[in-house]
Structure 1
Amino acid sequence: MSTTTEKKQTIKELGNSLIEEFRSQLKGEIVQASDPEYNEARKVFNGMINKHPGIIVYCEDVADVMACVNFGRENSLLVAIRGGGHNGGGLGICEEGLVIDLSGLKSVRVNLADQTVRVGGGNLWGEVDHATHPFGLAIPAGIISSTGVAGLTLGGGVGHLSRKYGLTIDNLLEADMVLADGSFVTVNKDQNKDLFWAIRGGGGNFGVITSFKFQAHPVSTVIGGPTLWPIEKTDEIMSWYHDFISNAPDDLNGFIATMVIPGPPFPEELHNKMFCGIVWCYTGEPAEFDKLFQEVRDKNPIFEHVGEMPYPAIQTLFDGLFPSGLQWYWRADFFNDFSEEVRAAHLKYGSSIPTPLSQMHLYPITGAASRVGNEDTPWAYRDAKYAGVIVGVSPEPEDAPKITQWCKDYWEALHPYSSGGAYSNFMMEEGQERVQASYKHNYDRLTEIKKTYDPNNLFRVNQNIKPKT
């Protein structure tokens, strides 16, 4: 068996006969560099990522996944796992190695008896919402429907329903997974408890998840949408928002942003102007909303587009602005408060956004998400108030340097006032020190579990947790 110190092989070094033997074990399709569809197959959501894997396998069932894991391990290949391909750092793909693509493992089954939902490892959240909404149910997830279920879940899962029903991992009941030795296990609160703990925030470090079982909740129609203030009001709005959202009932969620209005569907007079905005989502009694929201309206937003809508509509609100293939650069941190220095940095960099799609978001980690212990899952920042992210975004490759620099400058101005780590789903490849900071006191336990189930670090194209030595 390979070890982390051994030289990794490339597909080119294996020879055609070995690859053909591997192909014969699979139900799914293999794509190699010589195939006409290769350049399309190697694309991920972030157009800034330009990696050239040796082989991509489109798995169709669990047996395919097991064959891929065994092939990668036995031949000392670099192995990447691609669910939705949405990861900012492009960690669903690798150079010259094997990509295990799960997009063929799709199914969503709703069990009305206990309001649970079984979801395939290759599903996107929009597909889950489509299946659950007719039953008046939803699973807490993110804010973009094209996000993959697997990646978002394994990293934690922050979104519109976090204050009401917790993170996605707080609603994960069970998972089926293929381990580094090729074996198949089910993990839940009674079976393989250590692995079940580890995958609820520990990323793809411990195996390939082929299906998830979630607890769903009664969510059908929500009241939501954005309110905007001129960017010059950032200090005032952030100061007010911090107190307001911390004391708001769990039914109300709202993430705050510095942003540019890029164009339609917003009114023309707002286009290409910079704003401090909040995107709201309310799950409570509609009759009580106006009274609760009056304090927001008293802050005199210059634009309000908040109304009743089906839950899948708020999940798709921004899909059209962010199609696959744009240039993305991400930086992130957790924050506990908005000091004067923090507010000043947001005003400064929110006033110099380099492209219309670049923006900063701060997601509240209050309400239900904060009532889980810091050791109950690997997600070690339950006591932080916000998960912050800065994204430089552009359709133009030539904009990559300026959106990257803006992100880095913005982040460096804020980082001294942060909690030290970041939500792993918002991180690029930033080194081992950042990974450890983001798991804090839970990192050591994760390394022990990694040593047990993946001692040679086969699954390392991720925010990597190294096996304990």
Structure 2
Amino acid sequence: ARAVAQHGLAVPIGTWETVGCGLVLQGGIGHLTRYASVTADNILEVEAVLPNGDIKVLNNKSEGLDKDIFWGIRGAGPALAVVTKIILRAYPITSVKYTRVIRKSATDDEDVAFLRKCELALRKLPKEQSCDIHIGSGNDNEITLGLFPMTLLDKKFDSNFTDALGFTEDSLMECSYCDYPGASLASQDKQTEGRDEAAFSAQTAAGVLTYMRNMFVDELPSEAWHVIVGAVKNRPTAMCSVALQHTGGTVRSTEAGIFRCRDFEFSVVIGSMWTENQTDMRNKCMKWADELWQKLLEFGTGTYPADVDNFRRSDRIESELELAFGKNLKRLRQLKKIIDPESILKGTYALNS
């Protein structure tokens, strides 16, 4: 990202710079998703090593089986090949303007009313604008509601949107696309333009253990917001939170590879984090995330392929694969049997069942 930024360009990568190609090949959701779709849709070419050792260069000009492999790699890449090179589409974006709307949690009903009002407002944003939501804790461990409006290409926010969230154009800060701090709940007196290094360090600190779940949702009625708010208020540790990445936009109108879920406005990320390396605490945190994911299932339209986990949830593998790949699962399994009949590349889920 920083290399192409020197040429006035941006590529649609993950939210954090540390996101690797394994996640990109299963979708890839970040700050440009609403504008440019998921990263997998922007893969122009890959160099890949197949399970039999063949090295392939795959792109939209590929034919026959190679065409099918290129289709599958863009959404289920880790299960099909070892990708050694990726060429991504780049966009003429150098900077972003953004602000943060930070609000201390109140009663459940007040929180839900505020979040629902904001959701209805941000759904009307054009593709150049987005607004992530984060419910968790800032520096003081108190539960906080955070909204993070961001705009590209100097596009001004509509006054109805700024009024609904309670901010003005004058409050917008500007930074390079690579330095956009994202959904940090650090107190406002700690804000600086660009990346919040303290928040970033907390996310990646040694000794912090993490268990993540994901659900794609198109709309969250008040009932769903009550589920989320209630869960965060009853979390096992102060580091547990729920982040809603604002997607929709171009995602809905693009379909380049196997990544099948298109009818979603939010990627809901349930982040369960703890520091005590004890079985009891790990089980509590994992249970909290799994139970919240299950409660959101009735509002979901699908899940991230990266969320499928045969190691921790082997009893649910088939239902999770269906949520991730839907109608594409049958074709994906046929492709897997052809190029990897011995299931050498297992990843976190087995396809040769």
TM-score above 0.5, yes or no: yes
Q: Give the alignment partner of residue 314 of structure 1, picking from 164, 175, 180.
A: 180
Matched, 1:228 2:102: yes
Distance 1:163-1:196 versus aligned 2 partners, 3 A rule:
same
Matched, 1:447 2:333: yes
* Bigger RCO of structures 1 and 2 (CA < 8 A, at least 6 apart): 2
Gap regions ≥5 residues in structure 1: 1-128, 264-270
Mapping for residues 187-202 of structure 1, pairs under 5 Å: 187-191=58-62, 192-202=66-76
Q: Kindly indicate whether the alpha-carbon contact (under 8 Å) linking 1:330 and 1:428 is maintained by their aligned counterparts in 2.
A: no
Kindly provide the amino acid, as one letter, of the partner of residue 325 in structure 2.
Y
Mapping for residues 45-444 of structure 1, pairs under 5 Å: 129-148=1-20, 150-191=21-62, 192-232=66-106, 233-261=110-138, 263=139, 271-285=140-154, 288-289=155-156, 291-292=157-158, 295-300=161-166, 306-314=172-180, 316-317=195-196, 318-325=199-206, 326-373=208-255, 376-398=256-278, 399-419=281-301, 421-429=302-310, 430-431=313-314, 432-433=317-318, 434-444=320-330
Kindly provide the amino acid, as one letter, of the partner of residue 401 in structure 1.
N
Structure 2 CA distance for aligned equivalents of residues 253 and 458 of structure 1:
40
Kindly provide the amino acid, as one letter, of the partner of residue 312 in structure 1.
C
Q: Kindly indicate whether the alpha-carbon contact (under 8 Å) linking 2:33 and 2:247 is maintained by their aligned counterparts in 1.
A: yes
- State the secondary structure of the residue aligned to 2:158: helix
- State the secondary structure of the residue aligned to 1:414: helix
Q: Kindly indicate whether the alpha-carbon contact (under 8 Å) linking 2:133 and 2:148 is maintained by their aligned counterparts in 1.
A: yes
Q: What is the match of residue 346 of structure 2?
A: 460
Structure 1 CA distance for aligned equivalents of residues 171 and 235 of structure 2:
23
Structure 2 CA distance for aligned equivalents of residues 306 and 462 of structure 1:
41
- State the secondary structure of the residue aligned to 1:213: strand
Report sequence identity in percent. 22
Distance 1:200-1:424 versus aligned 2 partners, 3 A rule:
same
Q: Report how far residue 384 of structure 1 moved.
A: 2.3
Q: Report how far residue 166 of structure 1 moved.
A: 1.1
Structure 2 CA distance for aligned equivalents of residues 203 and 228 of structure 1:
38
Structure 2 CA distance for aligned equivalents of residues 135 and 459 of structure 1:
37
Q: Report how far residue 182 of structure 1 moved.
A: 0.7
Kindly provide the amino acid, as one letter, of the partner of residue 210 in structure 1.
T
Distance 1:189-1:338 versus aligned 2 partners, 3 A rule:
same
- State the secondary structure of the residue aligned to 1:155: coil
Q: Report how far residue 402 of structure 1 moved.
A: 2.9
Quick check: which has more Rg, 1 or 2?
1
RMSD: 2.2
Distance 1:199-1:349 versus aligned 2 partners, 3 A rule:
same
Q: Report how far residue 417 of structure 1 moved.
A: 2.7
Structure 1 CA distance for aligned equivalents of residues 166 and 116 of structure 2:
15
Q: Kindly indicate whether the alpha-carbon contact (under 8 Å) linking 1:174 and 1:212 is maintained by their aligned counterparts in 2.
A: yes
Structure 1 CA distance for aligned equivalents of residues 103 and 306 of structure 2:
28
* Normalised TM-score (structure 1): 0.64
| Matched positions, count | 322
- State the secondary structure of the residue aligned to 2:332: helix
Q: Report how far residue 178 of structure 1 moved.
A: 0.5
Q: Report how far residue 181 of structure 1 moved.
A: 0.6
Distance 1:312-1:435 versus aligned 2 partners, 3 A rule:
same
* Normalised TM-score (structure 2): 0.84
Q: Report how far residue 177 of structure 1 moved.
A: 0.6
- State the secondary structure of the residue aligned to 1:177: strand
Q: Report how far residue 298 of structure 1 moved.
A: 4.3
Q: Report how far residue 305 of structure 1 moved.
A: 7.5
Kindly provide the amino acid, as one letter, of the partner of residue 462 in structure 1.
T
Q: Report how far residue 427 of structure 1 moved.
A: 4.5
Kindly provide the amino acid, as one letter, of the partner of residue 202 in structure 2.
L
Kindly provide the amino acid, as one letter, of the partner of residue 212 in structure 2.
W
Kindly provide the amino acid, as one letter, of the partner of residue 144 in structure 2.
F
